[in-house]
Structures are given as structure tokens and as C-alpha cells.
Chains A and B, each alone.
Chain A
């Protein structure tokens, strides 16, 4: 078969093969394109982050005053939350954590659009949030999921939620004068959804128990910020290594919050703005009309507004500062149909209602222990035996008698506490 050489149709189109050199030169084009692209992708973020901004130096006290005196009450931005507790990633089917965080309040917790079943997914993996706020009464938080979104809108006493994944809505009426100082975005159901909410919780607790220093500057979401470092002091058992808060130099608003464990490694909790604008969001942002055909679940007054825990379920607190251990009597929690302990990490204390109850009807501790057995380990001490769940930050110990010890402390500290309580 005769070789057909490439034709030469026009003189300006040199298509003829010119030996190996030309061949190599032509293959150089895709390689060069790929190389330039790789270099651009690698360099552009590096250039954007280049150099920490130089700001006038401040003391930690001045910076804390600045945070407290911050007058910024409006925000519109994108927040990235990354949580790495060392738990298995449940974000795909968050039924387990959803069940964990859902208190046995009946009714309202059943809706997939209820805040309790949605916000707990923030406890694993990485999530992108859209946050808008206009004063303490009007807030909107959207969890951006692939091809889906969960929006939580608060306008005065009206709380609306819409979950596009299930096409369902949730509505609740809050008691009129809710917490005045909620900050931007707030900590809905104990899960902080803005760096400011996280920083507020920590700085409140850090007073007098920590060393607070200013450690240079950083650039967060295109703004220059001071880096505030909170290190636990007088605490031997805590698993918290250090907390780093980037504070906007202009407004005093915390822009980024990073918690690293004492054991080192990746941050356990990292929440920061990737884009932020302190202007007033459009008024329409905070109005919600349930779309036609969408099922709306009416919630009872959500637990976030008032948290006097039911009788008997109130956690007892052992120790102080960073070594604090919460002690929860889970058998009492069951009787109280506990609404109290559904906030944040204390969500471990609430029973998972979807879990098959072990044994007889009074399933409170049965539920919890069935759950803990799933990814816990057996421990024993002079208190008897129990099940311990270990994460990179929070440890929990459930004794076979039904008492739950929980805290950001080492497992041995929990065992000691249980021994002492015997």
C-alpha cells in the first residue's frame, strides 16, 4: 500500500512532515500549554497571598477591645467550614449525625428541613456556607451542597428553612426578644457558622484561663487581619493545642478561626471567610415565602432560644477552664425528653432517635450505647466498665451505668473523673 504523504494545499500552511525535529516541535505545543497552565494555577494563588500585610502593631488587649467594640452588624459573604474530628465522614448520608443531633423532641425533628437535622452535618467534612446578616434579628445561612442547598432564614421572630434536596420547608416562631448579642450569623443550634460566632464562644471561655497573644498579620478573603493566638493555660488534660483567630484590621470582625489539637496535625476545626462584604445585604435576602407545592413543617419553639435543660438532664460540670468535663445522666435525659443537650459537641449526649433501641422500652441509654458501640472502644477503671469514643478533639465516656462524661480532654482524664465520681 502506497504511503500517502500529507498534502500541501496552501503555501502558508506548512503541513509537510519535516523529520523528527518538526515532530518534536509540534508535540512541544501541548506540553507547553499544559506547562503554562500548571504554572499559572500554581502561581496565581501564591501571588495573591504573597506577603502578610504590614499593619501597625497592637497588643492583645487592644485587639480584644477592638473585637468587643466592633460596630459591624451587617455582612454578606462566603464561609468555608472544615471539621476534622477524626470521625468517619458521614456527610453523604448524615443520618447518623442527624440522628445524634436531633433531640427526642418529636415532630419538628422529623422534617429533613429542620435545622437540627441539617446543621449537624457541619461536624464532619468540608462545607461552603453563604452567610448574610443585617443586625441581630435578620440572618440567612445557606449550606451550599453540590446541586442542592439548605437555607436557614431568620427575620425577627420568624424562622424559615428550605431544603432543596428534599424540597421541604420548615417554619418556627421564635420568642420575641431573643438573645440580643448574637453577632453576625450567630451560632445556630450550637454549631458556629461564622468565624465571629466561633471566636465569641472561645474568647468568652478563654478569659483568665489562657495566654492570648498577637502573632503577626495575615490576609484573609482579601482583607488584612491581625492574628490572635489563644493558648490554654493551667490546663493539663485538655486536647486543645491552640486557637488562631484572624481579626479584620479595619472592622475588628474575626475573619478566620482555626483550632489545632494538642496532638498536632491538621486543624480540627477551621472556619473562615473566603469572600466578605460588610455592606447591608439586599432586603429581599431575608424574606421567605414557601413556594407552591412545598411541604412545610411547623416546628415548635426551637431549642436555641431558651435552653433550660429539662429536669435531671442538666449536665453537671467538673473541673474548670479548658479541662471542663460535662457529666450527663443519660437515663434522666430520656425521661426529660431532652431538648437541652443538642448544641454542638454536646449533641453526643442526645439520643439518636433513629437508632434501634436495645433491650426494653426505656431506651435512652440503650440508644446512646448502641451508637457508641458502633465506633467506640471498651474501657474499664475502678468505676466499672464503659464505652469510650475518641475523636481528635472531644472525648466521651459512657459508663455502663448510663453516665456520660464528655469534654475536650484526654480519655484518661475522663476515666479519672469517672473513678472519682464513683
Chain B
């Protein structure tokens, strides 16, 4: 329970800082890095994107700031008590729970506000949300593949093999994957898949068995737990990580958050991002090469692509080339459009070819 104690101490330190500010006659304030794409920088040491130097200050000097700080104190108290009691709660529960606080001004007006405040506290206290025992709403995604692990659950330890001990749905990743210990594996690489349909196709076709692959289902924009376990698979088991998504700008962002870290959690990039992750596709050039069925780009797609060109995370030769091709052909394709060449095309032709190209196979 030492992480819990540390987390609690750090929270109380934060409260003590406010206490001291008030005692010194200073205006209580709290500074956090500005969380926008213009304030993320590439960290050469860890190869991930982290926050830059710009900070936003929550200060009691304004009515807004004062309210934020009051909410922060109340949230700190709540989190400290939660750690004391060894309980956990979801972000959404925190939002509803604030309704029970005696001071109206301390209550959250939206869940965005409480989410943001928890992020603030993570950053300032350097403790992750998971260590506060705060869970996101949606459950984590799943794993299928030749991996043997031990999970520390509230009901005791469980040892699970992610092919043999699970159903077709795979192994459910817990909210805090750091409770998992990897025991053994026969894997050659990790394949992260965006959509459930494609994941099921790969499992049905037995791709994980044939290629000794750990298939991680991302379920769209991946939850922190998914990203964390992916990073651990890479770092601890030394497995190459590949990402297979749709061929549109939103999917590139899914890859971005796996590989480079997301803007909102750049303070945790060290902990969550897998910079070595490689992008399989669907690449814009695949659309041409494999003559895939397409949809035209919508205006918002074009805007998203252009915005990615300005995003420091995508300013690489590879991404600039791919994005420009896509802007040029004005088309996008889904993973499952590969089915236009037959149901086995993806496992028998596309993935082997791409993985070979990338040097994974």
C-alpha cells in the first residue's frame, strides 16, 4: 500500500501549500502546464511528447479561479479519504458525489470540470489518477494472445493465460494494469486493432495463433489502461508494437496517442506512450495500392488532416507524406473495406505483406 500512502501524502502536501499561501497573506494559486497542442514538446530523452513550459494558473484572484481552488480542496479531501478507506470510484461518480458536498460553490457544474480537475491534481501532485483510485467510465479493452499473467484482484490473485483461460472475447484489461505481473509468453509482436469487427475477424481467422501475436483491442481512442499495458508489453517483454486502424485522420490520432502520448495526458507520456509503436495502416497509399472501397473526405476530415499537419507529433516525413497523399486523393477507407477482396484477405495477404515490409515478420 505504499503507493497509496505516497499518493495521500502528495495530496495533503498540496493542501498544505494552500494553507501556507493563506498564512503568508498570499493569494492561493496552483499552476499547471497549459494543455494545448501548442504547448507540447518532444522529449529527446524518452522519445515522447510532453508539456512545454507554458503554465496556466488557477488563482483565487478571480471568482472563477477561487471556485476552482475550492473545488480542488474538496476533491483533495475526497481522494485522501478514499485512499484511507481503500475504496475506488469512477470519474463520473466523483462528479455526482460532489452534489453531496455541503458548500454549493464546491460542487461541479459538469463532468468535464471534474475530469479536468483530476487531471490538474495528477499533474501537480505527480500521482496518477489510477493511484488516486479513480477509474474512467468505460471498461478497459481486451487482449488475446499467447501471454500468461497474474492479476492482483480485490478477490485475490488470478493467473490467466490469454488464449487458453479466456473465451473468444479475450482477457479484460483491468483499470490499473500495474496490478498485472507477466509470467510467460510465446509472442513475437503486439498488434493493436482499432475496431471490434476487425479484432473478431483476426481472432476467427486464428491470426494470433498463426503468427504468435498478442492482439490488443483499442476500442477506438484507447483508454489509459490499454495504452499502459501496451507500453508494458513492449518495455517488459521487448515485443514490437504495431497499430492497425482505419485509414482516416481520427485513426491516425489513435495511433498518435498510443505512440506519442495524448495532449490531455502528456504529463503521463512517460508512463503511457510507446514511441516505438509502428503504424500498419490503413495508409493512404494502401487505398491506392490495394484499390480499396472508399468514402470521400468530409470537410471535418480535411480540417482534421490539416490540423495534424500543424501538430508537432505528426511532423515527420512519414506522416507528412501520408497526410498529403490523402488530401490529394480526397478519400478514406475503413479497416473492414479489405473484405472487398475476401474475408481472408486481411490475414493472408494484407497483414503479412505490411508486417513484412515493416520488418516485424
Physical interaction between A and B = no
